[in-house]
Amino acid sequence: MLAGLAGHGLRLDEAELVVGTSAGSVVGAQVRSGTPVTQLYEAQLRPPREEVPARLGTGVLLRWAWAGGRGRDAARARARIGAMALSARTPSEQSRRAVIAARLPSSDWPAARLLVTAVDAASGEFVVFDADSGASLVDAVGASCAVPGVWPPVTIGDRRFVDGGVRSPVNADLAAGCERVVVLAPTRAAVGPMPRLSAQVTALRAAGARVAVVSPDRAARTAIGRNVLDPARRAASARAGFAQADTVAAEVAGVWR
**Rg of the Cα atoms in the chain:** 17
CA distance 123 to 128: 15
Q: Environment class of residue 72 by beta-carbon count within 10 Å: exposed (0-12), middle (13-18) or buried (19+)?
A: exposed
CA distances from residue 52 to 99, 145, 223 in whole angstroms, order as listed: 8, 13, 19
| Strand 180-184 relative to strand 210-214, pairing | parallel
Catalytic residues: 22, 163
CA distance 121 to 125: 8
- Do residues 164 and 121 touch, judged by C-beta distance below 8 A? no
